[in-house]
Chain A
């Protein structure tokens, strides 16, 4: 898709993402499709994901910004609100979406979700159960997975 077909809003958002990236987050549009973004989020400090680099994909549907972007983890992650396929349970990606939100706010929210898992609103039943019955052990597993899958080694 040529960038000339893109709504000015997407162009502005893209420019700002590239010129003033949010701390710990990088997002760059793909060469072939300016609506498709390669995203990287650094595991937040003091979380079991610290030290990890998590890859995500983000796609802006035709209706954007009236409809929410589609986001998915590509890196395997042990988190009660993220399932095996990398899908994310986050309200602003669903019914709480507002067209006044942006790519930047979405990615910041995902980063915050890594700092504060919410096992009461789980996407992955098993992991959520693990989290609630034995948090220390679940956190350890998350750390282990971060080391195994998210350190780029």
Chain B
């Protein structure tokens, strides 16, 4: 499959990577103070990941699905010495699991035959010149009748009608039985092929194809709208991320959009959370109260505590204490401060529902914080996808023209954009991750936010290079001689960012387990997750990460001036501390 190879020729990048790290040019040559040190170049690692992904699933086109299905049917038919239609019925019954079919069959053939309606000895139709059709009650000559293996005769028109009705009822037609109510003989594809209309044959074969995917534990349709590929997965092989040939990434396990580093359960929770209904409930809880008189929910939308219920009720009451407004005035501390409420609150007397409203309001604010960032990355990703397409469809050609480079030499730009799209996706899900990271795990939260910030600025740097810096070469009137430097830089950034994100995903997936959570002053061990910060550049010099002021990265106050980067874990500590806040390593 060509399309599949396309998706995986990320390997091509290895050569670029090699250039990048062995070349003397050094990608910072133009840009002296740029440090690309937020990830070790562990190309062995990323190779592993790539090849593992290639092994644990296969993308199937419709032709592939049919071929797999045919092969399975042939295999069962050969091993059990039964006709193909019978093998197909058996496979369908046991959800297309060849081993199940074999196990059941060899354990108790008689029982299996009975369950699926395969008679051991076919019965011929009654041997007389004329037969009565069991459906239309007409008499026909023998050769105008047909039967399943049970010999119950029906005329061709009735068979056609029977099959057609069953097919229009849905996929149950794959388990069709003889029309005789006392008979359970299976009616297989052989009879359908012999007796049904062309249209019905086509529908039947579609159902059969769909069944091979939908009833099969190992195969699923790609969930992207309009995509017709299916994915065959090696069960138990771990990593659920699937990249379909249509370029959609999804999770095998829950079929939501790919969501590493967050697990499926969290994704489901988050999606539920995002569904308008559940949040609206909280919003209403936080922003509305029932009118004390008519009990309809009243929404407070102005600062004033004086609420008038909507007609016909029109009851005037105080938002804070829900008492009638007529009781309010000088006595209660003025119209804008309800002493009764303050007093009641101090006495702890304000009721449970009030407390719940407060909590809902706080949790709503917290949720909104994460949701906004999640959604922003989502739209950035959409934008990056659109940019990727315009790059593929027009800009690449233009660039090839302007810089006199064959398009085949410009693949690194597409790689960069694919990486940006992927990083946006990961970054997006880190916000759902952050939302569910317990508040009290201060060290983890701190570390997590640090990693997230680094990821953000690293990605910004790549984005900047792939967008703004590229523009110079797109606008150039004639080929520029530093284009090769640009290539080296962008390819390098792509690779470094990919590694960083891959490690970030791994660290979050292991639940930041290496970060102590016993006290707020974190302790971190010599852990694998800390390698992601890859604090050593090739020269062995230690540099704080994310310091490129020209990158346009979100300000993370990672200014060299006020911070020092820990040797051990690279955490950026304020100058005023001499021990690392993260790992207590001395400066």
**Residues of chain A at the chain B interface (Cβ within 8 Å):** 7-9, 12-13, 63, 65-67, 92, 96, 98-101, 105
Give residues of chain B (143-182) contacting chain A, Cβ–Cβ below 8 Å. Answer: 152, 154, 158, 161-162, 164-165, 179-181
CB contacts (< 8 Å) of B179 on chain A: these are 98-100
Q: What are 27 A-B pairs at a CB distance below 8 A?
A: A7-B136, A8-B136, A9-B135, A9-B136, A9-B137, A9-B138, A13-B137, A63-B165, A65-B136, A66-B161, A66-B162, A66-B164, A67-B165, A96-B181, A98-B179, A98-B180, A98-B181, A99-B135, A99-B161, A99-B162, A99-B165, A99-B179, A100-B154, A100-B179, A100-B180, A101-B181, A105-B181
Is B134 at the interface (CB under 8 A from chain A)?
yes
Q: Determine the chain A residues whose CB is within 8 A of the CB of B137 once the complex forms.
A: 8-9, 12-13
Q: Kindly count the residue-residue contacts between A and B in the assembled complex, taking CB atoms under 8 Å apart.
A: 38
- Determine the chain B residues whose CB is within 8 A of the CB of A13 once the complex forms: 137
Closest chain A residue, CB of each to CB of B158? A99
Number of interface residues of B (CB under 8 A): 15
The secondary-structure label for the interface of chain B is loop
Q: How far is the CA of A7 from the CA of B158 in the complex (A)?
A: 12
B181 close to A65 (CB less than 8 A): no
- Chain B residues with Cβ under 8 A from A67's Cβ? 165
CB distance from A9 to the nearest CB of B (A): 5
The answer for the CA separation of A63 and B135 in the assembled complex, in Å, is 12
- The CA of A153 and the CA of B152, in the complex, are separated in Å by 48
- Complexed CA–CA distance, A66 and B162 (Å): 6
- Which positions 126-140 of chain B face chain A at CB distance < 8 Å? 134-138
Q: Which residues of A contact B165 (CB under 8 A)?
A: 63, 66-67, 99
Tell me, rounded to whole Å, the shortest Cβ–Cβ distance linking A109 to chain B.
10
Q: CB-nearest residue of chain B relative to A16? A: B137
Among A63, A99, A105, the one with the most B-chain Cβ atoms within 10 Å of its Cβ is: A99
Whether the pair B136, A92 counts as a contact (CB closer than 8 A) is: no
Residues of B within 8 A of A8 (CB): 136-138
Known: A65-B135, A67-B165. 5 other contacts (CB 8 A): A8-B138, A63-B165, A92-B181, A100-B154, A100-B181
List A contacts of B152 (CB < 8 A). Answer: 100
Chain B residue numbers with a CB within 8 Å of A65 are 135-136
- In the assembled complex, how far is the CB of residue A99 from the closest CB belonging to chain B, in whole angstroms? 5
Instruction: Give every chain B residue within 8 A of A99 (Cβ-Cβ).
Output: 135, 158, 161-162, 165, 179
Cα of A13 to Cα of B323 in the assembled complex, Å: 78
In the bound complex, residues from chain A placing their C-beta under 8 Å from that of B135 are 9, 65, 99-100
Bound-state CA distance A98–B158 (Å) is 12
- Give the top 10 A-B pairs by smallest Cβ distance, nearest first: A66-B165, A98-B181, A100-B134, A99-B135, A100-B179, A9-B136, A12-B137, A100-B180, A9-B137, A98-B179
Chain A min CB distance to B189 (Å): 20
- In this complex, what residue of B is CB-closest to A66? B165
Residues of chain B within 8 A (CB-CB) of A100 are: 134-135, 152, 154, 179-181
Chain B residue contacts of A98, Cβ below 8 A? 179-181
Of chain A, the residue at the smallest CB distance from B181 is A98
Bound CA span A99–B136, Å: 9
A67 → chain B closest CB, angstroms: 7
Q: Smallest CB–CB gap between B356 and chain A, Å?
A: 36
